[in-house]
């Protein structure tokens, strides 16, 4: 199959491209970074260098493709984040229609069923609705859990203050996933011959926040590491002080609130809380320790 992989050589796109290439597919990887061209080609893929905001570029790249892995970059700038994310999704949808691509796997998120109280995830909610309008294309919405690798951002807090935390309590139950498990699920979905619109969850573990502290803490020799629940104001101020742009910090604060109220987890629970990924929190803890 001729398959287009968006996301450059990121945490999901690179292992996805590698798996699909190993399976013998014709892979093109889209990247906005010219310096990635040689690395993409060294994997055995074709490199399409351009911006996903450029519809003509997308149409040219999607032409003749059997399937597309569509993901929007996790960082769409410091302002208008949700709007820019949705616009990227609109561009993908328009290019898919113009080139008559029959199969799409969209990287979405647990929580995308809700239009509110989910922070940056609300952009994915709107994109799912846009893709639902692609009448001639089968789409799998791959709703991923909270990325384990986001815990790397907590390393300074653990080192400098001796705590880990968020604006949700220690008994909050959070779906988790490793990028490699997302890539495996996406590879399986891209080659399926299906019709209509389907939802698949990419989740490897479901754990309470208190486990984040105990398991990650034990891996770094700090078994008593505490989970601290911050107020929304404390979390927001801390995120800004850590260097996040104001709008992004506000969105992450809102997402944490959604984890606290259960809005983010609700659609995952409603679908039976399926866990299909193989990477557990204890497995990731080894990676966390290596970065600490």
pLDDT tens per residue across span 215-267: 999 999 999 999 999 999 999 999 999 899 999 999 999 999 999 999 999 99
Q: What DSSP string describes 133-185?
A: T-TT-EEEEEEE-EEGGGGGGGHHHHHHHS-EEESS-TT-EEEEE-HHHHHHH
**What are the pLDDT digits (tens) for 122-141?**
999 999 999 999 999 999 99
pLDDT band at 74 (very low <50, low <70, confident <90, very high): confident
pLDDT band at 201 (very low <50, low <70, confident <90, very high): very high
For the whole model, what pTM was predicted? 0.96
Task: Provide the pLDDT for residue 93.
Answer: 98
Residue 269 in this model has a pLDDT that exceeds 80: yes
Task: Provide the pLDDT for residue 209.
Answer: 97
pLDDT band at 208 (very low <50, low <70, confident <90, very high): very high
Distance CA 128, CA 124 (A): 6
Task: Provide the pLDDT for residue 275.
Answer: 98
Whether residue 206 contacts residue 275, with contact meaning beta carbons closer than 8 Å, is answered with yes
Residue 76 in this model has a pLDDT that exceeds 90: no
- Short-list 70, 215, 72, CA closest to 137: 70
**What are the pLDDT digits (tens) for 50-66?**
999 999 999 999 999 99
Distances (CA, A) of 137 to 63, 95, 217, 259, 273: 14, 12, 46, 32, 27
Hey, where are the domains in the chain?
2-145+178-202
Whether residue 82 contacts residue 120, with contact meaning beta carbons closer than 8 Å, is answered with yes
Distance CA 12, CA 179 (A): 5
The arrangement of secondary structure in 2-145+178-202, i.e. its CATH architecture, is: 3-Layer(aba) Sandwich (3.40)
């Amino acid at each position: 199959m001729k398959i287009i992989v968006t996301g450059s050589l990121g945490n999901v796109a690179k292992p996805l491209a590698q798996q699909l290439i190993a399976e013998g597919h014709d892979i093109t990887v889209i990247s906005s970074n010219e310096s990635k061209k040689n690395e993409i080609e060294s994997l055995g893929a074709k490199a399409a260098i351009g911006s996903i905001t450029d519809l003509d570029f997308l149409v040219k790249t999607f032409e003749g493709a059997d399937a597309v892995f569509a993901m929007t970059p996790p960082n769409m700038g410091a302002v208008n984040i949700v709007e820019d994310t949705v616009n990227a999704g609109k561009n993908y949808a328009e290019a898919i229609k113009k080139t008559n691509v029959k199969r799409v796997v969209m990287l979405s998120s647990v929580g995308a069923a809700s239009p509110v109280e989910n922070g940056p995830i609300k952009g994915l909610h709107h994109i799912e609705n846009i893709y639902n309008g692609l009448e001639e294309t089968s789409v799998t919405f791959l709703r991923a859990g909270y990325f384990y690798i986001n815990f790397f951002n907590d390393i300074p807090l653990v080192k400098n203050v001796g705590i880990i935390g968020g604006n949700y309590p220690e008994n909050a139950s959070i779906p988790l996933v490793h990028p490699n498990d997302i890539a495996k699920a996406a590879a399986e979905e891209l080659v399926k011959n299906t019709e209509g619109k389907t939802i698949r969850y990419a989740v490897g573990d479901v754990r309470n926040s208190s486990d984040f502290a105990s398991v990650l803490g034990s891996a770094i020799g700090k078994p008593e590491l505490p989970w601290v629940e911050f107020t929304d104001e404390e979390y927001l101020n801390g995120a800004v002080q850590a260097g996040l742009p104001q709008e992004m910090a506000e969105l992450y604060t809102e997402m944490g609130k959604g984890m606290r109220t259960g809005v983010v987890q609700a659609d995952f629970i409603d679908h039976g809380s399926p866990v299909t990924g193989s990477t557990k929190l204890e497995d990731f803890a080894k990676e966390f320790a290596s970065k600490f």
